[in-house]
Amino acid sequence: MKIMSVNAGSSSLKFSLFEMDTKEVIASGYFERVTLEGSFYTIKYNGEKIREEVEMKDHSVAVEVMLDRLIKLGIINSLDEIEGVGHRVVHGSDVYKESVLITDKVLEDIDQFKSLAPLHNPANLLGIEAIKKALPNVPMVAVFDTAFHQTMAKEQFLYPVPYEWYTKYGVRKYGFHGTSHQYVSNKIGEILGTNTYKAIICHIGSGGSLSAIQDGKCVDTTMGFTPLAGIIMGTRSGDIDPSIIPYIMEQEGLNAKEVVDELNKKSGLLGISGVGSDHRDIEDGMKNGNERCALADEMLVNSIVKYIAQYYVELGGCDILAFTAGLGENAIDFRARIVEKLAPLGITMDTSKNDFRGELREITGKDSKTKVYVIPTNEELMIALDTLRLIENR
């Protein structure tokens, strides 16, 4: 059975086509600058990378091009081979606690939640509508970034603000990167051979979030009402004193939206280093003696360590600490420096086992009280697996 995972942005469309019998990617692609001039796509298939410039005035055209190329390249012989499509949807509010088959009611809800994710949910809807138009008889599933975190207790997800803000406007912690955290959580269960465990998952990429997991369910997570909260990220500030916002508004003559935009796009590693948001640029700057790059890196390490320590206490211990996503999977020295600071918790790493990138490996130290792993994430596969489960159980 072939299942497609789709992630639609405002001017982009990503897909991965899986053979579910083997869970292998048959092909993947990225359609860029959709609705803009100079639109193009790249498709990876059978070890090759194909790139073509083609005018795509909207997402429907992008989907038409995608499906046409899948057949022309011989990736599939017929559209009938695609038996299900899973869509990444950023926000499901607290209504959707798991993935669901897409119905008209689900589409209405996704649209209703756009005030919570104004940059993402409308774009996700565009992708869903385009696929629905092209493949009207294929079942589709919405996989929500926020769903996995909806097992948090009220004392964890509420903010200490007027309670009416929650009841009237939905102001609460939602959490994001849920598909990645769920995938890694499932892998942890496989590794340990049990669903009874305590884990801390560190999804560290250009965006980053940590989650505290007990018995496969999220207890707490770092991102909040929006993805701006939590640890320091590539361009996002993470946690700050909210009084900074009106202060900077007054000092710089900016409105609230403009300040929040700077906290989202000009802060984090970029804001501190002045060099870039990519950690590889920070590492290069550190090698060249750039003190601001070293400062940015140390602040990032510290922000992660603080949350690990907090979640260790919240969980009452930790069976496994897992690193995942771009930095977590590939930044060797970065992982080591984080674990080095966790020694007071009895967490150590075997540095001789840490010299690798992008593989599932255990790097636990000899006397560590907690297992330490690198577990590559696969959000696209998680979307496909949820899609398969739901269409089989219709």
Buried b (16+ CB within 10 A) or exposed e, 335-355: bebbbebbeebebbbeeeebe
Buried b (16+ CB within 10 A) or exposed e, 210-221: bbbbbebbbbbb
Alpha-carbon distance 94 to 315, whole Å? 23
DSSP state of 90: S
SS3 12: strand
Alpha-carbon distance 293 to 297, whole Å? 6
Residues annotated as catalytic (active site), given as ranges: 145
Is 79:71 a contact under the CB 8 Å cutoff?
A: yes
158 burial type by CB count under 10 A (0-12 exposed, 13-18 middle, 19+ buried): middle
Concatenated DSSP letters for 18-70? EETTTTEEEEEEEEESTTSTT-EEEEEETTEEEEEE---SSHHHHHHHHHHHH
